[in-house]
Structure 1
Amino acid sequence: MANKKRALITGITGQDGSYLAEFLLAQGYEVIGMIRRSSTVNFERIKHIQDDVTLTTGDLLDEVSIINLLRESRPAEVYNLAAQSFVQTSWGQPVFTGETTALGVTRMLDAIRIVDPDIRFYQASSSEMFGKVVEVPQRETTPFYPRSPYGVAKVYGHWITVNYRESYGMHASSGILFNHESPRRGLEFVTRKITNAVARIKLGLDNELRLGNLEAQRDWGFAGDYVKAMWLMLQQDQPDDFVVSTGQTQSVRRFCELAFGHVDLDYSKYVVLDERFMRPAEVDLLVGDSTKARTTLGWEPETSFEKLVTMMVEADLALLKGQR
C-alpha cells in the first residue's frame, strides 16, 4: 500500500471531482477528498466510490485547516476543483465567490509552499475568464475579459497559480476548461435543466421548460473526458496552462432539439422563453482551441455532442423512473 501515489481532490463531491476520483482510482491512486465541515455536503455523486476514497475536512476559507490536512495526508498531487462554481449565483454572492474561487486558490498554493513545494498542483481555470471574447477561438494566449464575478474570481485564481509557479518554481498548472457536462451536472446548469425537463415532460410530470437565451453558444464536452486532461497536466515534466475543449460550438436551441428529439418530442411545443433567465451580461462566442493540449498532452475528447446529450437524457429518465 505504501507505494501507491496519493492525490488530494478539493470539490470531490462535485461533477468533476467525482469523475476525477474514479479516474485516479482506476490509475491505482490512493484518493483523498477534502470536504467542508457543513451539514449540506451532498455525497450523491461519489456514493458508489465512497468506500474507496478517504474523506477529510478542510476549508478553502481557512489556510490553517489546509496546512494541517496537507501535513496529515502528504499527497503527491493536489487537484483544486472546489469553488463557488455557478455563474448566476456569483452575481448574488460576489464576495463569497471571491473568497472561495479566488483567494481559496492562494490559500491552497501557500499551504503547499509551506508544507511541501514539491506537491504538484492543478488549478481548475475556466473558459468564463475569456467572457467578452477578444478573439475566436480562444487559446492559452487569448486575453481575459471576464463578464461575471465568477469569471473575475477565476482570473485571479489563474494568475496566482502562474505567480506561484514562477516565483517558487512550483509544479502548478491550470486547465482552462470549456463547458463540460454529464449526468452528474447540477440542476442549476442549463444542460441538466434541459435533460431533466425532457425526462419530466416525457413521463408526464411537467408540460413546459422555461429558458433564457436559446441562441447562446457554448463549446460543450463530456466531464469524464476532461478530467483525464487534468491528470495528464500533472504528469508532464514542466507545468503549464492548457485550454481543454472540443473546438465546436452548439447553441442552447440545438441542445433542446437533440434532447427533446431523443424522446420523440418537438422542443418548440414545450420551451418557453423567460426573461428571468437572461444574464445581466452574457458572454460572447466561447469556443476553445485545444491544439496545445492535443499535441503536448496527447489528449482528445472522446464523446460526441450527440452522445453527451442522449447520455444525459437517458440518465434523467432512469433517475425519474427509479423515483416513481
Structure 2
Amino acid sequence: MPRSSSTPPRALITGITGQDGLYLAELLLSKGYEVHGIIRGQNNPRRELVEELVPDVRLHNGDLTDMSSLMRALSVSQPDEVYNLGAISFVAYSWENAALTSDVTAKGVLTMLEALRLYAGDDLGGVRFYQASSSEMFGKVQETPQRESTLLWPRSPYGVSKVFGHYMTINYRESYGMHASSGILFNHESPRRGEEFVTRKVAKTVAKIHLGLADELVLGNLDARRDWGYAGDYVEAMWLMLQQDEPDDYVIATGVSHSIRDLVTIAFDQVGVSDWEKYVRQDPKFLRPAEVDTLVGDASKAKQVLGWEPKVDFETLVRMMVDADLDALKAGWK
C-alpha cells in the first residue's frame, strides 16, 4: 500500500459528521483525494448533512468501539491517510457519561490504531495516521502559553480520555514505526459547530433574540478564557502534518485568548446591541465541576515546520457565526 502519484490519494475520516470532518472532507476533495468517511448508525441524523455538503464522500458504517467495523472500513477504503476525529467531544457531557466517553474518546483511539496496525501489516509506515488531540488535555495549566512540551493536567473525563489517546498515538509511533501525528487543537469553531457548544449557543441565541424568537441567553462562567480559532483553518494543519516526512505532535492555536464575555459582546454587537447584560442570565448548572480557567496556545512549531498560520481572527469568526444563524433562521420562515 505505498503512496503513489499515479492514483488519487485516499483518506479515511472518522467523525466525519462533525464540523472538522466536514471541513476536512471538503479540503481533501479539493486536493483531488478519494475521501471515505466512517459514520455510526445507519439512521444517523447527520448522514443527510454529510451527503448534502460533501456528496462525493463514500460513507461506511462503523464504530470506534467495534474493531471489526473499523477493519472493514480500512479494507474497503484502502487509505493512504487516516484522520481520527471521532469522539464524544462535548466536555460537559463527559461528567455525566464518563464511562462512555472513555470507551469512545480514549479506547476508541487504541481500537483504531490497532485496527490500522493489523490492516497495514508490514507496510505500517505506508499509512499515515492523524489523532485529534485537544487543548483540554492541559486543563489546570502549568505554563502559559501552552506548547507541545507543557505538562498535561486534564480537568474533565473528556480531557483525561484525550490524554490517553494522545499518549497511545505516541506509543504506536515509537513502538511500531507508525507515521502517527497528533494535533493538539485549541478551541476551533464555525457555523457548523453543534448547538451544545457555547460559541454556537451564543451565536444562535443572539440571532433568535434579534429576531424576536428568544428572550434570554443563559450561560455559566462568563470569565472563562479560551484560544478560539476557525475550524476551516485548523483542518489544513491536520493535512499538513500528514504531508511531513517525519510524524510529530503540534499545537494548533491562534495564540490569543478571549473570555466568554468577549464572545457575548461581539455577538450582540453584530445585531446592534451594546447593553447586552439585560438579555444574559448566569445559571450555576452550566458551571463545570472542575473548571479550566484559561487556555492559550503557542503554535510556533506549527508555523516553523508546517508553515501554518490561522487566517480568520476571533471577531471575524463570531460575526460569521451570528450571520450564519440569522440567515438560517430567516430561511426557516420562508
**Correspondence for 1:56:** 60
**Correspondence for 1:300:** 309
**Correspondence for 2:128:** 120
The percentage of counterpart residues that share the same residue type is: 60
Task: Tell me, yes or no, if structure 1 residue 317 matches structure 2 residue 326.
Answer: yes
Cα deviation for residue 160 of structure 1 reads: 0.2
CA contact (8 A) 1:35 1:58 kept: yes
Cα deviation for residue 197 of structure 1 reads: 0.5
Which amino acid in the other structure matches residue 4 of structure 1?
P
In the alignment, the residues of structure 1 paired with residue 263 and residue 49 of structure 2 have an alpha-carbon distance, to the nearest angstrom, of 23
**Correspondence for 1:79:** 83
In the alignment, the residues of structure 2 paired with residue 177 and residue 13 of structure 1 have an alpha-carbon distance, to the nearest angstrom, of 18
Task: Tell me, yes or no, if structure 1 residue 176 matches structure 2 residue 188.
Answer: no
Cα deviation for residue 47 of structure 1 reads: 3.9
Structure 2: 5+ residue runs without aligned partners? none
CA contact (8 A) 1:248 1:287 kept: yes
The size of the alignment, in residue pairs, is 324
CA contact (8 A) 2:131 2:183 kept: yes
Tell me, what secondary structure is at the counterpart of 1:8?
A: strand
CA contact (8 A) 1:146 1:155 kept: yes
Alignment of 1:41-52 (within 5 A): 41-43=45-47, 45-52=49-56
Cα deviation for residue 124 of structure 1 reads: 0.1
Using the size of structure 1 for normalisation, the TM-score is: 0.98
Tell me, what secondary structure is at the counterpart of 1:32?
A: strand
**Correspondence for 2:290:** 281
Tell me, what secondary structure is at the counterpart of 1:48?
A: helix
In the alignment, the residues of structure 1 paired with residue 119 and residue 97 of structure 2 have an alpha-carbon distance, to the nearest angstrom, of 32
- With over 3 angstroms needed to count, the CA separation of the structure-2 counterparts of 1:45 and 1:303, relative to structure 1, is farther
CA contact (8 A) 1:15 1:45 kept: no
Which digits, 9 at most, give the CA deviation of each residue in 1:255-280, with x for residues without a partner? 10000011111321211111111111
Which digits, 9 at most, give the CA deviation of each residue in 1:113-136, with x for residues without a partner? 111112100000000000000111
Task: Tell me, yes or no, if structure 1 residue 242 matches structure 2 residue 250.
Answer: yes
1:188 to 196, 202, 216: 196
**Correspondence for 1:68:** 72
Cα deviation for residue 44 of structure 1 reads: 5.5
In the alignment, the residues of structure 2 paired with residue 241 and residue 283 of structure 1 have an alpha-carbon distance, to the nearest angstrom, of 22
CA contact (8 A) 1:208 1:270 kept: yes
Cα deviation for residue 49 of structure 1 reads: 3.3
Task: Tell me, yes or no, if structure 1 residue 201 matches structure 2 residue 205.
Answer: no
In the alignment, the residues of structure 1 paired with residue 6 and residue 78 of structure 2 have an alpha-carbon distance, to the nearest angstrom, of 12
1:18 to 4, 16, 22: 22
Q: Aligned-pair RMSD on alpha carbons?
A: 1.2
Cα deviation for residue 46 of structure 1 reads: 2.6
Which amino acid in the other structure matches residue 36 of structure 1?
R
CA contact (8 A) 2:228 2:257 kept: yes
In the alignment, the residues of structure 1 paired with residue 38 and residue 229 of structure 2 have an alpha-carbon distance, to the nearest angstrom, of 26
**Correspondence for 1:142:** 150
Using the size of structure 2 for normalisation, the TM-score is: 0.95
Which digits, 9 at most, give the CA deviation of each residue in 1:86-122, with x for residues without a partner? 0011001101100110110011111111111121000
Cα deviation for residue 63 of structure 1 reads: 0.8
In the alignment, the residues of structure 1 paired with residue 301 and residue 85 of structure 2 have an alpha-carbon distance, to the nearest angstrom, of 22
Task: Tell me, yes or no, if structure 1 residue 271 matches structure 2 residue 285.
Answer: no
Structure 1: 5+ residue runs without aligned partners? none
